[in-house]
Chain A
Amino acid sequence: MQRRGHHMRGSRLAGSCVKTYMRRRCSSLALYSALLLVAGLLPCVASARAEGTPIPHGTLELVAENQWIVAGHTIQLGLHFQLEKGWHIYWVNPGDSGEPPRVKWQLPAGVSVGDIEWPTPRRLGTSTIVDFGYEDDVMLLVPMHAEASVATQGLGQVGAEVKVLVCREMCIPGKAQLSLTLPVKSQPPVPDARNADLFAAARMAVPRPAPSSWRISVTDAKDSFLLFGNLGRHVAQVEFFPVAESQIKDAAPQEFIVMAGGFRLTLRKSDQLLKPIERLKGVLVVAGDRGYLIDVPVSKAMAAQRDVGDGINPADSLKEVTQK
């Protein structure tokens, strides 16, 4: 079963290389065709991931971390986007414009999927309009759970209809119907070696929960939120991405000030934010490190200085702030 899977994948790969070659040949002089044959095959050999369903200015592929669906277990699926240089897709909060990819799943009976685990995004855009998203190569992780009672004989077909907006200077909506057929077994999961690197990289890109030693607090200060962080170490730069739309001005520079053991980040409030918010949730990217998930109650400017409980108060080492 498994061997056949490998074989089929190999032949599909070869097929896509030939197509690539044919396309190139059509637009080139016959003189170069022999050269192109070699050149066209090289990238296919170099990158084993040349296949995928076309989307505007890129490809999309549905992959699984394991070789089969396991009754009573959760396995990881991945939506692997590969984009042409300069083109991007969007994070769950797309920022000032755009929209995130949306997926409709078609799943075997007894199988369900969880929420997408979004990798840490990047700021994309100009001075007045800033979006949050991904360029080049990105994989969205999706946990897929099979009930213990799921039939463990035969194959399970997983389908995903993905709508995605791909943008550069302009935006092009795309749609892809993906499918993946996996055996359903009761045996413990065995990783699919072909996808190991992809999933390892995707896990690294997903923000981790903030370490419990961190002291993070957020103060509502009229036009801004002041995000204080005491990480117990020097931090050269941080960037914050709010999970919810319309909380902060996405395009506004995030003013960063180094403080003992941490920092203060000023986040301008969005014009669309008309009511106070109770919590600020998002991804904090620490320079030279990675993204961390934070979910912090928002306190009023005055109250924050008195309140010492809950680990949300600017910690002692942030005296410069508390003395103000």
Chain B
Amino acid sequence: MKRSTLYRMLIVVVLCAAPLLIAAAKVGDAAPEFTATASTGKTVRLADYRGKYVVLEWHNNGCPYVGKHYNSGNMQRLQKQWTGQGVVWFTVLSSAPGKQGYVTASEENSYLTKMQAAPTAALLDPTGEIGHLYDAKTSPQMVVINPQGVVIYSGAIDDKPTTDLQDVQGATNYVSLALEQAMTGKPVQTPATRPYGCSVKYAN
């Protein structure tokens, strides 16, 4: 009797813990909640933005794929375009201390100013917690969350998985496509793609 109760408890523990450990958010799932510190020092809770579209952009300033989108001005253009339409845009920095792309809050603020970047906030994620919640593999991986808090896109920023600046023009931007389709009540036609880029520099 005692033993079977123990087993039952064990099963419950395993069943509850398993999804937390392995199942990262994918398209169609509820976006995992997180609380993060922005480079401005502000505390950001994803839950506070329910009712709005939210874009997550994985960032590493040393990654040449990220460089393609910032040096061409493409990322800043997207940030301005979509935040101008009420979309919340979080740049997420999941590089661990000592790894490429890790920055302090003030370094990130200088970078944002220098690049004229315009996300709603840059979230510092040195433990990789948010990165792992969303199974972010690369920078610049992109995630779009709808106002109901459901992941409607996860993957590449566009369909040109290269580091060439010239490839920005003429590329199909999956983030804009997902936002446009969702905002006009259409199903997102390409909800998941391979997120090209540099691996996210987690602590391991």
Residue ranges of A at the interface with B (Cβ–Cβ < 8 Å):
96-99, 102, 125-129, 131, 163, 165, 167, 169-173, 245-246, 251, 271-272, 274
Contacts and interface: CB of A to CB of B under 8 A. Distances in A.
Interface string B51-71: 000000000001111000000
Given A126-B204, A272-B193, A272-B194, A99 B199 contact: no
B199 A274 contact: no
Instruction: State which size class the interface on B falls in.
Output: 20 to 34
Nearest to A272: B192
Contacts, number: 69
Given A96-B137, A127-B204, A163-B162, 4 more contacts: A125-B199, A126-B204, A169-B99, A172-B64
A102 B154 CA distance: 26
Main secondary structure of the interface of A (DSSP, over half): loop
B135 interface: yes
Contacts of A128: 132, 137, 202, 204
Contacts of B138: 96-97
B191 A99 contact: no
A165 B163 contact: yes
Contact of B198 (A127, A171, A271, A274): A171
B202 A126 contact: yes
B87 to A, nearest CB: 23
A171 B154 contact: no
Nearest to B62: A170
A99 to B, nearest CB: 6
A127 B128 CA distance: 14
A92 B14 CA distance: 38
Nearest to B68: A173
A267 to B, nearest CB: 16
B137 A97 contact: yes
A309 to B, nearest CB: 34
B41 to A, nearest CB: 28
